[in-house]
Amino acid sequence: MRAMLRASAPILVIALAACGTDPAPEPTEQIVVREPGAAAVPAVETEDSLIAIGKAAFNTCIACHGIEKGGANKVGPNLYGIIGQAAGAAQGFGYSEALTSSGITWTKEELDRYIANPAAKVPGTTMMAGAITDAGRREAIIAYIDEVSAN
Ligand code: HEC
């Protein structure tokens, strides 16, 4: 009896594997593939959730950066309104020479490159931590910064 069970096991495996080739299996989940940079749908809901993700992800930055209007500089400068602003422009913050002389104006693209790898973008910058390697997280953080600054 035992020997028979053991012998039938491989057959069972083959039978289960065959199920996978059924012509129309019920879909159990949906995978949405998105090209980088392509707009996702539906627009409004996605924009909201991107900002929500960015707000959560900004926790990586908040130890060093405030983002509220008129907020204080911390280890890093306040980031309110940073998009469109020249690098090194926060009042009363002691920037590195590297950043103030970088000539950068913070577009979303420039922010993306800096946050991805501050020292590669601005050699000599004193932002020593907080780099975000994941492009999607950077996009969300930048969307959040943009949203907060618009208020
Ligand atoms: C460990 C502290 C620290 C963390 C964490 C950190 N930063 Fe910074 N950041 C700094 C410092 C210090 C500077 C000033 C750099 C300089 O003068 O070279 C800076 C500068 C910047 C600047 C340039 C500001 C300006 O006025 O030109 C931006 C933009 C920035 N950080 C974004 C971020 C974002 C977004 C995050 C989170 C993903 C983050 N930082 C995380 C310390 C930090």
Give the pLDDT confidence of 98-147 residue by residue, as tens digits. Answer: 999 999 999 999 999 999 999 999 999 999 999 999 999 999 999 999 99
| Domains by residue range for the chain, with CATH | 34-149 (1.10.760.10)
Q: For 67-105, b where at least 16 C-beta lie within 10 A, e where not — what string?
A: beeeeebeebbbbbbbbeeebbebeebebeebbbebebe
- What pLDDT, in 10s, does the model give residues 15-36? 444 444 555 656 566 665 666 6
pTM of this prediction?
0.77
Q: What is the arithmetic mean of pLDDT over 51-79?
A: 97
Give me ligand 1 centre to Cα 40, in Å. Answer: 29
- Above 60 in pLDDT, residue 8? no
Query: Which has the closest alpha carbon to 69: 60, 78, 57?
Result: 78
C-beta of 78 in contact with ligand 1 (< 6 A): no
